[in-house]
Amino acid sequence: MAELVYQTIGELLEEKVALTPDKEALVYADRNFRMTYAQFNHHVDEVAKALIAIGLEKGDHFAVWTTNVQEWPGLQFGSGKMGAPLVTVNTNYRTSELEYLLKQSDSRAIVLIDQLRDYSFIETLYEICPELKTSKPGQLESARLPLLKTVVVISDKHYPGTFSYEEFLANGQMISDEQLSDRKKSLSYEDVINIQYTSGTTGFPKGVMLRHSNLINNAINIAECMKLTQDDKLCIPVPFFHCFGCVIGTLAIVSAGGTMVPVQEFHAEKVLRTVEKEKCTALHGVPTMFINELNLPNIQEFDLSSLRTGVMAGSNCPVEVMKDVIHIMGMKDITICYGQTESSPVLTQTRTEDPLNLKVETVGRALPNVEVKITEPGTNTELPRGEQGEICARGYVVMKGYYKNPDATREAIDEDNWLHTGDLGTMDEEGYVRVTGRLKDMFIRGGENIYPREIEEFLYQHPKVLDIQVAGVPDEKYGEEAAAWIILKDGQTATEEEIRAFCDGEISRHKIPRYIYFVDHYPMTASGKIQKFKLREQFQGFTKSLK
C-alpha cells in the first residue's frame, strides 16, 4: 500500500519546482497566459507575502469569491505557503448567503471579482458593508461583519474602500523572504488550510475543515488512479471553489508535475476548443458538462485525439453518457470518482485499467489508506457484501470537522472516526462500490422503498431523454409517489404517456412515475449538483396552485 505523504501544500509545489522548473504549470488558453513551475512558484511567493502584508496570521481565514480566474491558483497555493486557510465562496451566492458565510467563517479578508454576467459581486458586498465605501483599504469597520477588514477586487476598475489586485500584490513587497520563510517553517501538514462550504443541496451550507494532509494525499491518490505524469495537461472547467476543481483538479495535476489548464467559466464549445488548442490529455467534468459537450452539433469538428483520461463525478454518472465519453471523445482511461467535501473529497475511484462494465456500473474501489464499508443505516453494523446500506469511510480523507459546528460534526463522524456519508450503496466481493441513492432521497410508496437512481438509470435508455431526475413527492393515498423531471434531446418531443409506455413491463408498476414534467433545466448548485429539494418544492407549489 502507498505510504502517506506528510507535507504542506507549499512544500508539495516546491518539490515539483525542483524537479521540473521549466515545465509549464499553469496555462489559460484563451488569453495565452503561461507560467512555468519556476515562474508560478515565484508568483505564489508574491501572493503569500501579500496575504501576510494585509495582516493575515497563521490560522486566520480569508474568502475567495470568484470564477476560475487566473489569480485563483496563486491564491490557493499562496494560502498553502503562509498558513491562512482559504474559504471558498460559491459564485451562485447572493446577499444573505454571502453574509452568512463571511460571518460564520470568521473571514478577515475577501478577494472577489466585481461582476459575473449581470450580477454585481461588489455591490452585494457594499450592501452588507455600507461602511466599506468610506473606509480606507484594509481598515474596514463593519457593523455586520466586525472581523472583516480587507477587501481585494480583481477588476480593471477601482472601488472605494478596496485594494485592486495589483495594489494587493504590491503590498507584499514589504514582506521579506525571511519573513515568508519563518512563516513556512511554522506550518504543519496537520493544519487546516481550506474551508470548503458544502453546496447546500439539502439546506444551509456547513464549513468543512480540511488539512494539508487531507488534500495532498487525496490529490496524489487521485492522480495515481488516473496515471497522471508530468507530461499530462489537465483541462479544468469545474469550479475552483469546489473540491472537484481545487483538489481533483489543480492539486492532483500539480502532484504529478503536470500542467493546469483551467477554463474560467464553463462553456461546452470553449472547453473543447481549449482541449484541442493545448492538446490536453485529461478533462474533468460533472455529467451535465459532458452531456453538453457531447451534444454540441459541431463536436466532430474538434480534434480531441489527445484526450486519454479525466474524471466524471459530482452526481450520478449515466451509463450511456459514460459510453459516449469513451467512444466519441476518446477518453478510454476516464475514471469515476465518488466522495464528498467531507472526505477531501474522493473515497473511491475506478482505475484506468478497469473494464468498461466497472466504469459504468460502479464508482470504483477505495483509494489506498482509506477504509470503506456498507453499514445498516443509523448504526455502525457492517452489512454482508452485496447488501444495500449507508456508505461509511475512515482514514486520512476524513475532515477535521465542521467549523464552529460540533453537533453536526458528531452527527457525521462517529466515535470510531467513521464518516457517515448519507449515501446508499452496495459493495461487491472485489470492493467495488455502487451508489444507489441518498438516504434522504429514498421515498416510500405504499410501504415499498423506492430509490430514484434505479428509475433514472432505466429512463436514460429512452432515445429521446437527455437528462432525468426522479424524486418522491407527497401523495394522499400512497404517502409518496414518483415524479420525474425530464430534459429531452434537442429537437425531440414526447408525451407523458409515451414515457410511461416505455416503462410498462420493464420496471415495477409502483416505480413508474405518476408525475412527469418536461423541463429545460434543473435547479443546480454552481458546482453542478442538482438540488432535488427544489424540484420537490416546485411540485408542491404547482399542486397548491391547482387547489
Of 1-5, 170-174, 378-382, least confident by mean pLDDT is 1-5
**Confidence band, pLDDT 50/70/90 cuts, at residue 380:** confident
Tell me the backbone φ, ψ of residue 265, rounded to 5 degrees.
-140, 140
Q: What's residue 110's pLDDT? A: 99
**Confidence band, pLDDT 50/70/90 cuts, at residue 542:** low
Grid coordinates given for 483: 415524479
CA distance 417 to 201: 25
Mean pLDDT, residues 210-234 taken together: 98
Four-point Cα dihedral 489, 491, 496, 497, nearest 10: -110
Domain spans, the chain:
38-197, 451-546
In degrees, rounded to 5, the angle at the alpha carbon of residue 12 between the alpha carbons of residues 184 and 80 is 45
Question: Is 101:93 a contact under the CB 8 Å cutoff?
Answer: yes
Q: What's residue 419's pLDDT? A: 97
CA distance 294 to 314: 18
Q: What's residue 316's pLDDT? A: 67
Grid coordinates given for 12: 508539495
How many other CB atoms are there within 10 angstroms of residue 461's CB atom?
12
Would you say the C-alpha torsion 543, 544, 545, 547 has a positive or negative sign?
positive
Percentage of the chain beyond pLDDT 90 is: 80
Which whole-number Å values give the CA distances from 346 to 3, 11, 151, 202, 215, in the listed order? 17, 22, 33, 20, 10
The single residue listed with the C-alpha cell 463536436 is: 299
Question: Is 232:256 a contact under the CB 8 Å cutoff?
Answer: yes
Q: For the segment 516-533, what is each residue's pLDDT rounded down to a tens digit?
A: 999 999 998 766 678 888
What's the mean pLDDT when you consider all of the chain? 93
CA distance 43 to 334: 32
Amino acid of residue 392:
C
Amino acid of residue 217:
N
Whether 451-546 and 38-197 are alike in CATH topology: the answer is: no
Q: What CATH code would you report for 451-546?
A: 3.30.300.30
Identify any residues that bridge with 194 across adjacent strands, giving them in sequence order. 86, 210
CA distance 273 to 299: 10
Q: What's residue 536's pLDDT? A: 85
**Per-residue pLDDT for 203 more than 60?**
no
**Per-residue pLDDT for 547 more than 60?**
no
Which whole-number Å values give the CA distances from 356 to 308, 380, 498, 535, in the listed order? 15, 33, 31, 32
Of 402-416, 484-498, 523-537, least confident by mean pLDDT is 523-537
Four-point Cα dihedral 284, 287, 290, 291, nearest 10: -170
Of 1-15, 296-310, 457-471, 515-529, least confident by mean pLDDT is 515-529
Amino acid of residue 399:
M
* Of 271, 273, 276, the residue nearest 292 (C-alpha): 271
Of 16-25, 155-164, 268-277, 536-545, least confident by mean pLDDT is 536-545
**Per-residue pLDDT for 237 more than 80?**
yes
Grid coordinates given for 251: 492539486
Q: For the segment 435-451, what is each residue's pLDDT rounded down to a tens digit?
A: 887 787 878 787 777 87
**Per-residue pLDDT for 319 more than 70?**
yes
Mean pLDDT, residues 287-292 taken together: 90
Mean pLDDT, residues 18-36 taken together: 97
For the domain made up of 38-197, give the CATH fold. Rossmann fold (3.40.50)
Which whole-number Å values give the CA distances from 50 to 67, 158, 345, 385, 434, in the listed order? 21, 18, 29, 53, 46
